[in-house]
Structure 1
Amino acid sequence: MITPLEIQNKEFKRGIRGYKEDEVDEFLDQIMIDYEKLYKENIELKDKLEAAHHQMDQYKGIEETLKNTLIVAQNAAEDVRASAHKKSELIIQEAESKAGDIIAKAHREVEDIRNEFESTKKQMQIFKTRFRTLLQSQLDSLIESSDELVEENQDSQTA
């Protein structure tokens, strides 16, 4: 590619009926200025393009990192969810086991209370029977005593 400096330093041979040297020089100066602008603009655009490619590569790297991070996060979330599910199942099983133990204990206590009630009921029945027997015996004894007194009283009145 031709550089602006090469355009500036270019010299043409002179011919017999050549172009006017001032017009050619002026035209070459104008071309050199325009070409220099285009040349610099081309270099700037190449630099910008290179920077854009570099930035795009960085974004691709970031995108890949984000994809991997998202996958790791999804896996971690699944692991946490699965762990929480297992833990909840264990808590439920433990609660059901404790509930079963509490119910069994309550049934035993109810059974113990029933047995104690039955025992107390039997003791009360025995007590009633003994008390009735005692009262009957005392009543019989009183009746005998009273009959003896009445007989003694009658014997003492007849005598």
Structure 2
Amino acid sequence: MSYLTPMEIQAKGFDKAIRGYDTKQVDAWMLKIKDNYEKIYVENHELKEQLSQSQESIVHYRDLEDALQRTLVMAQKSAEDMKKNAEREAKILLEQAEFSARTMTQQAEAESERIVKEASHRAEEMLKLAETRVEAILLEYRQLEKQAKVFRAKFRALLEAQMELMEGKVQAVEEESVS
């Protein structure tokens, strides 16, 4: 069903009846105008709702990205604290081992190195896991941004197509009125 253009509304003529315009024709024409504009209004409202939801999703994912970055910073600090604690523990173990005996010292050094390596390994794993999570969320965020751009482009194309359609009908009406 084609929508009415402003030119069609303006150009519409009504047959004269004994007491003026034929009220049935006028009423039918007004009903047609109302129906057409009601459909356009509803469609416009739905598109605005979709756009609003997309924008809310973008805000949500930006907030999520901020939270993940704060989590990453906290994980890095925690890893550093764990490493410092492990190094302090290794130093204490080393001092105790020096007091007891040479063999105990060698065992304590080996244990402290293992603890430091394990703490470093755990810290690296935590950092890698956090970075992987951030990358996944950033990827999803970028995909949503792309979807929003595609939506805007499609919506703009739809509006431009509607404008071209309306301009084409205006020209057709003008050409009909000229001939």
TM-score (norm 2): 0.43
Which one scores higher on RCO, CA 8 angstroms, separation ≥ 6?
2
Structure ID, larger Rg: 1
